């Protein structure tokens, strides 16, 4: 079902992309003023003598050519050493390892809710294009897109606090492994906020794809067979509209991996977004570098999965 050649080409492509990402991440941090010495020593680095600076540069490997520095860094990354946080002294790998599952859980929750709501709303709108239900659904979606998530997040936090006496940003975080209900009661609100914009995009894509497919000849064939309208929508229209829906879902999911910075801040979730935010604030370069790399890897992996899904969904793509 999934051709070996295709897999080889696609995985090779993904590896190349990741290599490119590594190069960019590495270079960007070398271009920013200040190196590892100024970052760790601050203004004191200005008082270093030539000899002291040279020995420190040798210690950090900064005296070697850029290419050598890059590959030695890449080698470290590939063996799981993402460096050490300049602030806490903890390994970046363990900090990211603790933060990543929270962000992934948040993104998965938002994606599941957003996709389900978006597809339902989109099919609802497409079932009578140009009529009142279409207009209503499209207006709702536009509203969902127009309200920024930081506004919606703040409103939700304020509403929860004043009407339910629940303060999501003061409690300590409960991991999924220690209490599923405790964890979900913390995660559901930020996930819902993220799901709004997610659903709006999925809705618009679903609607336009479904409206287009509904005009296809094979839908008329299905009607001619006497298939009931509901089954035509689920078995014939939605199936054939699913490729663009999977695409928009994948793109948004990938975006969420790095795009939860604000929402994690508002809801005080110790996820990757928050880690990235604080490490940028603290100029904790090794941590910024490895967090960005992890987000990028996540994006590439999600894209690979989406490509794989196309082949599962659409038999025509398997032949090529």
Residues that bind other proteins (CB under 8 A): 216-218, 220-228, 231, 235-236, 239-240, 313-316, 319
User: CA-CA distance, 235 to 214, in Å (whole number)?
Assistant: 12
Toward other proteins, which CB reaches closer, 187 or 214?
A: 214
Token pair 């490509």: residue: 307
CA distance 192 to 109: 8
> Shortest distance, CB of residue 320 to other proteins, whole angstroms?
11
SS3 call for 132: helix
Q: Which is nearer to other proteins, 58 or 231 (CB)?
A: 231
Separation of alpha carbons 275 and 295, rounded Å: 12
State the minimum distance, in angstroms, from the CB of residue 243 to other proteins: 9
Work out how close the CB of 24 gets to other proteins at its nearest, in angstroms, rounded to a whole number: 38
Closer residue to other proteins in complex, CB, 242/289:
242
Residues 266, 110: Cα–Cα separation, whole Å: 16
Residue whose token pair is 């509403």: 159
Closest distance of CB 148 from other proteins, Å:
37
Question: In Å, how far are 131, 209, 224, 232, 234 from 228, measured between CA atoms?
Answer: 21, 20, 10, 6, 10
Which is closer to other proteins, CB of 21 or CB of 313?
313
Q: Shortest Cβ distance from residue 118 to other proteins (Å)?
A: 20
Residue with Cβ nearer other proteins (210 or 294): 210
């Amino acid at each position: 079902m999934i051709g070996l050649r295709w897999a080889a080409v696609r995985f090779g492509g993904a590896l190349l992309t990741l290599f490119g990402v590594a190069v960019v991440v590495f270079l960007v941090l070398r271009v920013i003023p200040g190196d590892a010495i100024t970052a760790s020593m601050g203004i004191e680095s200005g008082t270093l003598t030539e000899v002291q600076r040279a020995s420190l540069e040798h210690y950090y490997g900064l005296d070697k050519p850029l290419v050598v520095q890059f590959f030695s860094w890449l080698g470290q990354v590939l063996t799981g050493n993402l460096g050490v946080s300049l602030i806490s002294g903890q390994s970046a790998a363990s900090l990211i390892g603790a933060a990543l599952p929270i962000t992934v859980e948040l993104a998965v929750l938002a994606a599941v809710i957003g996709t389900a709501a978006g597809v339902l709303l989109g099919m609802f709108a497409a079932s009578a294009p140009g009529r009142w239900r279409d207009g209503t659904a499209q207006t709702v979606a536009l509203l969902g897109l127009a309200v920024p998530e930081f506004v919606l997040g703040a409103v939700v936090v304020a509403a929860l606090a004043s009407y339910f006496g629940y303060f999501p940003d003061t409690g300590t975080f409960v991991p999924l492994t220690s209490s599923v209900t405790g964890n979900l009661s913390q995660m559901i609100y930020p996930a819902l906020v993220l799901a709004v914009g997610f659903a709006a995009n999925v809705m618009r894509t679903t609607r336009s794809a479904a409206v287009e497919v509904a005009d296809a000849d094979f839908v008329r064939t299905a009607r001619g067979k006497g298939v009931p309208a509901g089954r035509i929508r689920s078995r014939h229209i939605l199936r054939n509209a699913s490729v663009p829906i999977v695409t928009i879902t994948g793109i948004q999911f990938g975006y969420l991996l790095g795009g939860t910075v604000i929402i994690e801040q508002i809801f005080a979730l110790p996820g990757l977004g928050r880690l990235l935010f604080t490490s940028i604030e603290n100029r904790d370069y090794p941590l910024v570098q490895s967090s960005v790399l992890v987000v990028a890897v996540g994006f590439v992996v999600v894209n690979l999965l989406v490509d794989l899904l196309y082949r599962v969904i659409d038999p025509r793509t398997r032949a090529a």
